[in-house]
């Protein structure tokens, strides 16, 4: 499927109309919701209202430290040498039915055509 070219619309990062209206209205009212939540959190903490303080801090935290996403990791317990990798490839090729010579030629990057000649038989031609 061909990728379509985007035409029109707003540029990435540009607030939509509703967001822009709310931002402007808050500015007209001299209202800063972030500062208000911070003030509520501090007052609640000083008054011993820890659940409210905790909720306000929880709401503010993503502005300072965004939530971290899970990252998939692959851990290699020990580095493998080129020879170890080559030997592993040869073993896998031999398990698929090739002879050791054929598997070594493929692992060494020599051009080898492998085709099925008859049921159960493998035809290998080197070039």
- Residue 112 · residue 126 · CB < 8 Å: yes
Q: Are 46 and 34 in contact (CB under 8 A)?
A: no
76-104 pLDDT tens trace: 667 678 888 888 888 888 898 888 888 88
Q: pLDDT by residue (tens digit) across 106-121? A: 888 876 665 555 455 5
Report the predicted TM-score, pTM, of the whole model to 2 decimal places: 0.43
Q: How many CB atoms lie within 10 A of CB 41?
A: 20
Residue whose tokens read 């692992």: 107
Split at pLDDT 50, 70, 90, the class of 38 is very high
Query: How far is residue 21's CA from residue 97's CA, in Å, rounded to a whole number?
Result: 70
């Amino acid at each position: 499927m061909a990728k379509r070219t985007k035409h029109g619309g707003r540029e990435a990062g540009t607030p939509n109309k509703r967001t822009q209206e709310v931002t402007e209205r808050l500015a007209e009212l001299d209202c800063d919701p972030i500062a208000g939540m911070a003030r509520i959190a501090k007052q609640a903490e000083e008054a011993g209202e820890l659940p409210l303080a905790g909720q306000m801090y929880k709401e503010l935290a993503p502005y300072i430290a965004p939530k971290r996403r899970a990252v998939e990791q692959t851990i290699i317990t020990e580095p493998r040498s080129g020879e170890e990798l080559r030997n592993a490839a040869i073993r896998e090729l031999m398990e698929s039915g090739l002879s050791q010579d054929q598997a070594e030629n493929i692992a060494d990057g020599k051009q080898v055509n492998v085709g099925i000649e008859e049921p159960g038989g493998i035809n290998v031609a080197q070039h």
